[in-house]
């Protein structure tokens, strides 16, 4: 019996859909990679004519990887990383058929675990042959929780629309607890947190041991990252945190390998520091800031809920920033002149911006994330200092920002503070 595609009439459109369509017209094959449960399979299958589920035929996939490629094209190979030789088979076929476009869509929730030299050799990058797309949990626009009245692409084109949205703290607490998992949108925040905890259980009890790592150590590291979410902390700081004042639990090298694995599983996302053209990296914070794939995971790791977040504004602010960075990454990836990377800025004087989006043509914008709308003025002042510092330096070759924006969690109004400076509730922002 052939594998069955999910029913298309039940598919919830995603912002990444357009990028998948574009890449199918450019590359012989496309990989859609991202954390478990973010909707990769449904997204891939929505543009496919057939599918092979590697999980359901794992022995066959490993002994005869080409069997997974059979089907009407575009053909989806779901969770290809469990049989790494599939990548080699796809790359070979793309190489051998000049002009081949949109034959396969590969989905993966981790980088593959190779068992021998042949598998390692098979994972040649595929650059120019296989287009690679990152997928994340749903943004607020995709889940229907943002009006998307203010478009990120529009802001880069100088377009802005005033808007009014619901902006109370209780709503935002619910959204960070629920997260952007497609299967929980109809659940309460407390019910959705059960799903987040099940995700963590699967991660620590199955995925981590499968890669030869200790589940308890991985959980400690994940909790430390959650406590320090959005901070450019060093391995030394993380090691001290997980060791709780005792002798180091693991070596710095081992800690780095755990963090790398959490990245490979798309659980942790690192945001690099932005270095303006004229500035020396030595005077800037270039260590990556770390966020989790979804704010709901941070809430679950910290053992919190809606009520406790509302009582702990500092922690609430951190997980809110995680939500903003998730959404900015989704929207930046969809920019017409992108996909664009989300970065951050911090210099030796402490001047910073939570997020910098720089387009391939050099245009850029800066963002501050403020949970409370009362701190919008503080965010505006900080961003204007950044702009002034970059623009007034006589040696600066950095072009002026296209705009500056403060993203608020509790604000109701999207408004223009002055030319090129905006205050935008995150529930009014969209692609």
- Each domain of the chain, given as residue ranges in start order, spans 8-135, 140-430
Torsion sign across C-alpha atoms 366, 372, 378, 380: positive
Distance CA 321, CA 175 (A): 12
- Whole-number pLDDT of residue 1: 41
Query: Which CATH number is 8-135 given?
Result: 3.40.50.300
Q: Quote the strand ranges of 29-179, DSSP E.
A: 29-34, 50-53, 75-78, 104-108, 130-135, 150-151, 163-164
**pTM score, two decimals?**
0.95
The per-residue pLDDT for 398 is 83
Nearest to 112 by CA among 293, 291, 218, 261: 261
Of 96, 6, 81, residue with least CA distance to 43 = 6
In degrees and rounded to multiples of 5, residue 15 shows phi and psi of -60, -30
SS3 369: strand
From first to last of the 431 residues of the chain, give the pLDDT tens digit: 458 999 999 999 999 999 999 999 999 999 999 999 999 999 999 999 999 999 999 999 999 999 999 999 999 999 999 999 999 999 999 999 989 999 999 999 997 765 665 655 556 666 668 999 999 999 999 999 999 999 999 999 999 999 999 989 999 999 999 999 999 999 999 999 999 999 999 999 999 999 999 999 999 999 999 999 999 999 999 999 999 877 888 999 999 999 999 999 999 999 999 988 766 666 676 899 999 999 999 999 999 999 999 999 999 999 999 999 999 999 999 999 879 999 999 998 889 999 999 999 999 999 999 999 999 999 999 999 999 998 886 665 789 999 999 999 999 999 999 999 999 999 999 99
pLDDT at position 119: 57
The C-alpha atoms of residue 394 and residue 391 are separated, in whole angstroms, by 8
**Among 374, 359, 355, 343, CA closest to 429:** 355
């Amino acid at each position: 019996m052939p594998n069955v595609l999910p029913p298309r009439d039940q598919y919830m459109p995603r912002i990444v859909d357009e990028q998948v369509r574009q890449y199918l017209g450019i590359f012989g094959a496309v990989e859609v990679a991202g954390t478990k449960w973010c909707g990769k399979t449904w997204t891939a299958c929505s543009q496919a004519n057939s599918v092979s589920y590697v999980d359901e035929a794992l022995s066959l996939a490993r002994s005869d990887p080409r069997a997974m490629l059979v089907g009407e094209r575009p053909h989806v190979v779901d969770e290809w990383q469990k049989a790494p030789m599939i990548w080699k088979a796809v790359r070979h076929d793309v190489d051998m058929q000049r002009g081949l476009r949109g034959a396969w869509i590969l989905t993966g929730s981790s980088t593959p675990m190779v068992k021998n030299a042949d598998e390692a050799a098979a994972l040649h990058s595929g650059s120019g042959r296989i287009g690679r797309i990152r997928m994340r949990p749903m943004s607020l626009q995709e889940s229907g929780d943002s009006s998307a009245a203010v478009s990120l692409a529009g802001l880069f084109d100088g377009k802005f629309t005033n808007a009014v949205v619901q902006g109370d703290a209780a709503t935002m607490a619910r959204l960070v607890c629920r997260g952007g998992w497609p299967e929980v949108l109809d659940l309460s925040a407390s019910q959705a947190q059960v799903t987040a905890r099940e995700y963590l259980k699967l991660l620590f009890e199955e995925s981590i041991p499968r890669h030869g790592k200790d589940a308890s150590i991985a959980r400690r590291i994940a909790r430390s990252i959650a406590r320090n979410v959005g901070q450019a902390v060093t391995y030394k700081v993380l090691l001290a945190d997980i060791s709780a004042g005792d002798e180091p639990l693991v070596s710095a090298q081992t800690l780095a390998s755990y963090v790398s694995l959490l990245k490979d599983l798309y659980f942790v996302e690192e945001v690099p520091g932005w270095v303006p053209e004229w500035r020396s990296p030595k005077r800037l914070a270039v260590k990556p800031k770390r966020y989790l794939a979804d704010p709901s995971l941070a809430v679950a790791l910290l053992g919190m809920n809606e009520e406790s977040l509302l009582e702990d504004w500092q922690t609430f602010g951190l997980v809110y920033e995680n939500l903003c960075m998730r959404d900015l990454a989704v929207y930046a990836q969809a920019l017409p002149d992108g996909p664009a990377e989300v970065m951050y800025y911090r210099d030796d004087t402490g001047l910073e911006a939570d997020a910098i989006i720089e387009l391939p043509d050099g245009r850029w914008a800066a963002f501050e994330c403020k949970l409370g709308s009362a701190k919008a003025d503080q965010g505006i002042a900080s961003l204007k200092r950044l702009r002034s510092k970059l623009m007034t330096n006589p040696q600066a070759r950095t072009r002026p920002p296209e705009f500056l924006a403060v993203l608020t969690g509790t604000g109701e109004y999207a408004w223009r503070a002055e030319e090129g400076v905006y205050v935008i509730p995150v529930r009014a922002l969209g692609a």
